[in-house]
Amino acid sequence: MNPHDFMQQVKILNYVSNHIKSQLSFYALETGEVKKVHFQRLIPIINRLLKTDRFKGIVQLLNEDSSETVAQQLLNLFSSLGEIAKLVEGYYLPLPERAIELPKSKELVFLSSTNKKTSTSSYIGLCSGYNSANDDIPTMTLNEWMPSIDVSEFLQIIKKSQPYEILDKPSQVFIPQKNRGWTEYKKIKDNNIREFIAKFNLAQGPVTYFWVHETRNKSNYYQIPNHYLDIAKFAIEKQDGISRIVDCLKINDEFFSVKFNQRIPLAEKKMLMLFALPENLYDPFRWIIPISHYEDFIYIVSRIGIKVPGLSSSKS
């Protein structure tokens, strides 16, 4: 994607986001009091917008295999970033303006804004733009906005947690190796592997994952919450001395492209969405990032043990 194309895509996404926030605010305040708004009032408005030629391309950025509609996916995306609030039973609320200070550039990224105080001329993230007016609004750090754990913290939690004793053999195991993938449990015994991630496919219920530490006499199983599976994979690789590297390519003097070779955790995806444009809005491996946020990018990916060798220049 050339710079002109992705800047057009950013403008369209920004327009859709502002339209959703504006309509939500209108319905929430139409009686003079703040009231929650059911998604069924918002879906028809979003669908009408997406049917116009200008906005049809957004559908390609979303998951066509999802059980949710495109409109629902957009509502979930913007609520997950804190642009709007998602309540129980399908209700939403607008949120007050606030800003997130990025860790290295110290740039302030607005949330929940639809007005002209934000600058979007060079902004390619999925939130409200930069704080161009230097207004005194509530400001959060990255961790305050998106509380999460890094690889080191995950390992500390595992070591302090209470182990289970499980007699059944796991369905599959994940072991630290150069080429990622799930393998059969037999490989653990054949190679005398002491730590690995175990997957159990239960007859009734969700798939369950455990961090396993084997000693001479027993196997200790530490349950991994499903939403921590991606960071658990990076943690067990780091512990085994495996370093993951991300490919970075300079596009021009303003932007560089990134290609991850492994799926990154959800928290890090959302952090990158503050200032970067993903190839899609549900499971991206490729991103476009402003060079001005290169240090912010390094800060985020180093949380999960990914190394950045530097920017390579395009040969074209």
Q: Residue 210: what pLDDT?
A: 97
The predicted-structure confidence for 214-225, as pLDDT tens digits, reads as follows 888 889 999 999
What's the average model confidence in pLDDT over 66-95?
96
How far is residue 221's CA from residue 84's CA, in Å, rounded to a whole number?
39
Instruction: Name the least confident of 9-18, 188-197, 252-261.
Output: 188-197
274 pLDDT exceeds 50? yes
What's the average model confidence in pLDDT over 99-124?
84
Q: Residue 135: what pLDDT?
A: 67
17 pLDDT exceeds 60? yes
User: Are residues 276 and 268 in contact, defined by beta-carbon separation less than 8 angstroms?
Assistant: no
How far is residue 92's CA from residue 86's CA, in Å, rounded to a whole number?
5
Q: Residue 221: what pLDDT?
A: 96
* Amino acid code (one letter) for 191: N
How far is residue 113's CA from residue 116's CA, in Å, rounded to a whole number?
9
4 pLDDT exceeds 80? no
Beta-carbon contacts of residue 207 (< 8 Å; ≥ 6 apart): 199, 200, 201, 226
Distance of CA 251 to the CA centre of its chain: 23
Q: Residue 261: what pLDDT?
A: 93
314 pLDDT exceeds 70? no
**Whole-angstrom Cα Rg for the chain:** 22
133 pLDDT exceeds 90? no
* Amino acid code (one letter) for 4: H
Sign of the Cα torsion 75, 79, 81, 82 reads positive
Q: Residue 5: what pLDDT?
A: 80
Q: Residue 205: what pLDDT?
A: 80
User: Are residues 46 and 20 in contact, defined by beta-carbon separation less than 8 angstroms?
Assistant: yes
Higher pLDDT, 259 or 188: 259
The predicted-structure confidence for 18-44, as pLDDT tens digits, reads as follows 999 999 999 999 999 999 999 999 999
Q: Residue 176: what pLDDT?
A: 93
- Candidate ranges 1-5, 267-271, 277-281; pick with highest mean pLDDT: 267-271
Instruction: Name the least confident of 80-94, 117-131, 172-186.
Output: 117-131
Helical spans, DSSP H, in the chain: 3-29, 39-50, 70-80, 142-145, 151-160, 186-190, 229-239, 266-272, 294-302
Mean residue pLDDT of the chain comes to 91
Q: Residue 137: what pLDDT?
A: 87
312-313 sheet: strands from edge to edge: 277-278, 286-290, 255-259, 247-250, 312-313
How far is residue 41's CA from residue 23's CA, in Å, rounded to a whole number?
9
What's the average model confidence in pLDDT over 152-160?
93
Confidence of residue 197 (pLDDT cuts 50, 70, 90): very high
Report field, pTM of the whole predicted structure over 0.85: yes
Q: Residue 316: what pLDDT?
A: 46
Instruction: Name the least confident of 95-99, 127-131, 302-306.
Output: 127-131
Q: Residue 106: what pLDDT?
A: 94
